[in-house]
Amino acid sequence: MCNMRSCRNKLRVILVPYPAQGHVTPMLKLASTFVTRGFEPILLTPDFIHTQITTTLHSQTEISFMSFPDGLKNDQPRDFFAIETVVENVLPVHLDRIIRTVNKDASVVCVVLDLLASSAVEVARRCGVSAAGFWPAMLATYCLIDAIPEMIKTGCISDTGSPQNLEKAQFLPNQPMLSTEDLPWLIGTPAARKSRFKFWKRTLERSRNLKWMLVNSFPEEYIDFKQLKAASQPKVLLVGPLNKHAIIQNSSFWEEDLSCMEWLEKQKQNSVVYISFGSWVSPIGEAKVKSLALTLEALGLPFIWVLGFAWREGLPEGYSERVSRQGRIVSWAPQMKVLQHRAVGLYLTHCGWNSTMEAIQCRKRMLCYPVAGDQFVNCAYIVKMWKIGVKINGFEEKDIEEGLRKVIEDGEMENRLMKLYMRTMGEQARARVMANITDLVDDISELNGQLHLKNVDHHFFHL
C-alpha cells in the first residue's frame, strides 16, 4: 500500500524505522528535514502500524508512506521478539522489491534505517544504494553499544553479555557510574537477555558497513566527540534533538485525550504532576500502579496520568471516581501540549529519550523511574550529570515525598534546565544540526552525481 504521488526525477530517500512509537516519531521528524532539502522521503513500515501513522498524518502530503505485510496474527503480541522476526525475516524481501520498483521512475539515493532494523543494510548494498543508520536515542547509549567488543575484551561482560562480578562500573570513560543491571540488553529472563545481546552484537557488526550514523542527540560534554568522529566507522553525525527542528510535531499512534487540557486550565501554576511511562514496554506492573495511585491520593497531588486500559486493573476499586477532581487518568495525552502548560511543574517519567528531550525543551523538572533498556543510562545523565531530576526507588508515600522534597529544595535546578535547554535547543544547536544535515546531503549528492542539490535552500527550520 502506498500514497506516493507520481513525481518523476525526484530524488528519493527510503526511511525504515523500527516499528515502535519511540522510534517512528524521530524518524518522521528526520523525514521532514529531507523534504525541505529537496528530497522525497518514503517511510516504510509494517502493516500493523501503517494505518495508525497515515491516519494521524493524513494532512502531511510531503512524506510518502509505504507498507509491507508483516505476517503477524491479529492476536499476536507486538513484543520485542515478534517484531525482531518481522524486521529480520520479512522486511528484507519487501524492501528489496520496493527499492527496485521505486527506482523505475525515480532515483533512490539513500536508505536511512533505524539501527534496530539492521537487516536493511545488506538489502541496500545489494541494490547499490547508499545506507545511513539512524540512532533515535542519546549519543552515550550509542557509544555504549559500540563499546561491546571492548567490554568483552577487558572482561567487563562475558561473550553473552552478562556482567562479570561487578556491582557498579564505569563502562565508558568520563561517563556516569552504572549498575551492572543498567546495561540496555539486560531485560527479562536469562534467555531473553542472551537473545537481546546476540541481537545487539549482530546489529553492531552490520553497522560497520554503513556510510553514516545519524544520532538524534547533541554532543554531551563528557564525550570526546572529535575523537569519536576520527575513529568511528560509520561517520557519526549528530542531528538532534529533532524535537524542535522538524515540521512534524505530532505523530502519535493513539488518539489523544484532549479533555485533560481543559482540566489543566483550571489548575494553579506549577502544581500538576504529569505521569507517563511511555508506550513500548509494560509500564510498571499492577502492584506498582496500585501503590502510585494510593500515594497520589494520599498526598493530594493534582496529576495527569497516562495509563492504558490494560493496566487500569491495578487501580483500587472506585479510584477514578474518587480522584475525579484531583486528577485525570487518560489512555494517551498530547504530551508536548501538557508539558508546555504553565500548570505542570513536574514530570514523573520512565526516562525514554524522546520524553527526556521534550522535558528539556519544556524545561520541566523530572522524577525518574527508569523501566528498561536505555532508560537507565538516560536517567544517570538526568540525575548525575545534568542534575535536572531526581531518581526515585518506588511509589510509596516516602519515595514520592522524598523525591518532591529534593526537587523543590534544589534552587539551582531551574537554572541548569535553562542552560541545558539553550545548549540543546538554542541558536548554536540549530546551526549545528543544519551543518550536519548539509554534510549528509553533500555526501549523498556527490555519491549519486547530483551536485545540484548543494544549491537547495538550506534554510529549512520553520520554528
The answer to whether residue 426 scores a pLDDT higher than 60 is: yes
Q: Per the structure block, which three cell numbers stand in for 462? A: 520553520
DSSP 157: B
Dihedral sign computed on CA atoms, order 52, 53, 54, 57:
positive
Q: Check pLDDT > 50 for residue 459.
A: no
pLDDT digits (tens, 9 = 90+) for 33-85: 898 888 999 999 999 888 877 776 655 568 999 999 988 877 777 788 888 99
The pTM of the full predicted model, rounded to 2 decimals, is: 0.89
What pLDDT does 276 receive?
Answer: 95
Give me the phi and psi of 177, to 5 degrees please: -65, 135
Q: Are 69 and 34 in contact (CB under 8 A)?
A: no
pLDDT surpasses 80 at 446: yes
Q: Three-state SS for 452?
A: helix
What pLDDT sits at residue 68? 93
Bridge partners, residue 348, by sequence: 275, 367
Between 70-74, 166-170, 248-252, 372-376, the lowest mean confidence (pLDDT) is in: 248-252
* 30-39, 131-140, 149-158, 279-288: which is most confident: 131-140
> Cell 529537496, residue?
38
Q: What residue spans of 127-268 are helical by DSSP H?
A: 139-146, 148-153, 190-207, 225-231, 259-264
Q: Which amino acid is at 161?
A: G
CA distances 380 to 13, 168, 178, 228, 424, Å, are 35, 12, 7, 21, 18
Nearest to 398 by CA among 297, 284, 326, 295: 295
DSSP per-residue codes, 421-440: HHHHHSHHHHHHHHHHHHHH
> What DSSP designation does 5 have?
P
Q: Please confirm whether the linkage preceding 46 is cis (ω < 30° from 0).
A: no
C-alpha torsion 443→448→451→456, nearest 10:
-70
Dist CA 114 CA 353 (whole Å): 15
* Angstrom distance (rounded) from CA 370 to CA 377: 9
Kindly state the helix (H) or strand (E) to which residue 16 belongs, with its residue range: strand 11-16
Strands in 212-215's sheet, in edge-to-edge order, are 64-68, 39-46, 11-16, 107-114, 130-135, 212-215, 235-238
83-99 pLDDT, tens digit per residue, is 899 999 999 999 999 99
| Amino acid in the structure at residue 147 | A
Distances (CA, A) of 75 to 42, 71, 78, 84, 379: 29, 12, 9, 17, 34
Taking only Cα atoms into account, the Rg of the chain, rounded to an integer number of angstroms, comes to 22
